[in-house]
Amino acid sequence: MNRREVKSAPVLRFKGFTNDWEQQSLKKIFTTITDYVANGSFASLRHNVKTYKNPNYAYLIRLMDASNNWNGPWLFTDKKGYDFLSKSSLKPKDILLSNVGAGVGKTFQVPKLDKPMTLAPNAVLLRSNKLNNQFCFYLLKYPQNKNKVLSLVGVSAQPKLNKTDFGRLIFNIPSDRSEQDKISKILSKLDKIVNLQQRKLKLLKVMKKALSQYMFCQETEFVPILRFNSFSDKWKYERLKKLIVKEIKGKAKADMKGTKSTYIDTALLNGGSITKVDSPTDTFHNDIIILWDGSQAGKIYHGFTGALGSTLKSYKPKYSGGFLYQYLKSKEPIIFLRYRTPNIPHVIKDFTEIFKINVPSVKEQEKISKTLNYLDQRILVETKKIGSIKKIKKFLLQNMFI
């Protein structure tokens, strides 16, 4: 690839392509711009198209199916309904454009499924028989083109996009089909890599959830379902208070700006940037942090050193901080359900007095902690990989189109 600063060609381009790009309206780019209601009147659609929640002849594809990552639940129609909706029958790799509602302007590509497919309401079907259809999909993802589409959306309680106005929009495209192919190929490869990484990430999270469920004792049990061979002693049921040395309520505030300590607040805990405050360091890497107030009260964190913010508490563990963190983290849903006040959410005052934990020997705690912490690190690595690949794709989208 090489860079060109010419208005009629993109900044980033594959070697060998020098022709200027040309302007075309979307109604010329797309051979098909249609929707559900193009098949007939509302009365005829009601009469001829029946829908089913159980499997039938064809899928009735909705925008929510894309939002659900094409994993269902599905909506179906019968052979009569599918035939009646012939103007909006779908093929794999067709482009769907949301034209109504909060997600107006979003685009999706139809996957290959095991039954015929046809379009449901509230979306527009886009298909090009002249251009590379995959290229057209990325053409719509180019930020400036997305803004052009969104500029057509009226300001109302129900945002809506008119497909006729959409067809009048002018976009820049390469006249050489092979340039379209190369652009779509590299972006498709990045999408495939992201999808593979996301599947890997999902499997790691499933594994972590399963191990968290089986490596800890349930409330009425004293031996876990899954255990390292070298351990056989029964676990002990203890109050949380007996497993911590010290409990600290955060006092640091954002306006205490300085250089003394890292300010530990919810922004930092959830991936935000580091800020410094003139407040003493009171929480350390091995301590457990719990969000005490707010809608997410009861959320558990670990691995931070600094001055604790006023909406947080920290516990200095008597034994393995890693084990205590993993146990409490696995019980977050229970903490949310049983150990918070009902109105303005905050964790109940006597939480450490009444919350009980099944604990094994320190050596077993450390083994469990090491296993689950390893999975956390793998999850973090894969999440960062996905973020890096998405940044590369974003850069290419911004520079390979005009």
- Domain-located, residue 94: yes
Instruction: Tell me: do 151 and 266 sit in the same domain.
Output: no
State the helix-helix crossing angle for 362-399 and 321-330, rounded to 10 degrees. 70
- Domain-located, residue 128: yes
Q: What is the pLDDT along the chain (402 residues), one digit of tens a residue?
A: 554 444 589 999 999 999 999 999 999 999 999 999 999 999 999 999 999 999 999 999 999 999 898 999 999 999 999 999 999 999 999 999 999 988 899 999 999 999 999 999 999 999 999 999 999 999 999 999 999 999 999 777 788 999 999 999 999 999 899 999 999 999 999 999 999 999 999 999 999 999 999 999 987 889 999 999 999 999 999 999 999 999 999 999 999 999 999 999 999 999 999 999 999 999 999 999 999 999 999 999 999 999 999 999 999 999 999 999 999 999 999 999 999 998 888 999 999 999 999 999 999 999 999 999 999 999 999 999 999 999 999 999 999 999
- Domain-located, residue 66: yes
- Domain-located, residue 4: no
Task: For residue 258, give its domain range.
Answer: 236-359
Beta-bridge partner residues of 114: none
Instruction: Tell me: do 342 and 371 sit in the same domain.
Output: no
CATH of the domain at 128: 3.90.220.20
Our measurement of the distance from residue 175's CA atom to the centroid of its chain's CA atoms, rounded to an integer in Å, reads 36
Using a cut of 0.85, tell me whether the model's pTM lies above it: no
Instruction: Tell me: do 27 and 144 sit in the same domain.
Output: yes
Instruction: Tell me: do 181 and 166 sit in the same domain.
Output: no
pLDDT at 6: 44
pLDDT at 4: 45
Instruction: Tell me: do 67 and 57 sit in the same domain.
Output: yes
Cis ω for the linkage preceding 73 (within 30 of 0): yes
Q: In what helix (H) or strand (E) does residue 207 lie, and over which residues does it extend?
A: helix 177-214
Tally helices (H) and strands (E) across the chain: 13, 22
pLDDT at 157: 72
CATH of the domain at 402: 1.10.287.1120
- Domain-located, residue 191: yes
Instruction: Tell me: do 171 and 181 sit in the same domain.
Output: no
Domain count, the chain: 3
Instruction: Tell me: do 171 and 289 sit in the same domain.
Output: no
Alpha helices (H) in 320-361, listed in sequence order = 321-330, 332-338, 351-354
Instruction: Tell me: do 25 and 150 sit in the same domain.
Output: yes
- Please state, in angstroms and rounded to a whole number, the distance separating the CA atoms of residues 149 and 162: 10
> Of 337, 370, 376, 373, which is closest to residue 355 (Cα–Cα)?
337
Instruction: Tell me: do 26 and 129 sit in the same domain.
Output: yes
- Domain-located, residue 220: yes
pLDDT at 113: 96
pLDDT at 7: 56
Q: Which residues contact 357 (CB under 8 A, 6 or more apart)?
A: 237, 238, 239, 240, 243, 324, 327, 328
- How far is CA 93 from each of CA 96, 121, 137, 156, 241, rounded to the nearest angstrom? 9, 19, 9, 32, 57
- Domain-located, residue 7: no
Can you say whether residue 145 is alpha, beta or left, with left for phi > 0 and alpha for psi between -120 and 50 degrees? Answer: alpha
**Paired tokens of 32:** 């098909």
- How far is CA 378 from each of CA 105, 130, 216, 227, 300, rounded to the nearest angstrom? 35, 44, 21, 21, 19
State the helix-helix crossing angle for 133-141 and 177-214, rounded to 10 degrees. 70
**Paired tokens of 373:** 């912490």
Instruction: Tell me: do 171 and 187 sit in the same domain.
Output: no
Instruction: Tell me: do 338 and 258 sit in the same domain.
Output: yes
- Domain-located, residue 8: no
Q: Which of 325, 344, 359 is the last residue of a domain?
A: 359
Alpha helices (H) in 72-176, listed in sequence order = 79-84, 133-141, 143-150, 163-168
Instruction: Tell me: do 47 and 171 sit in the same domain.
Output: yes
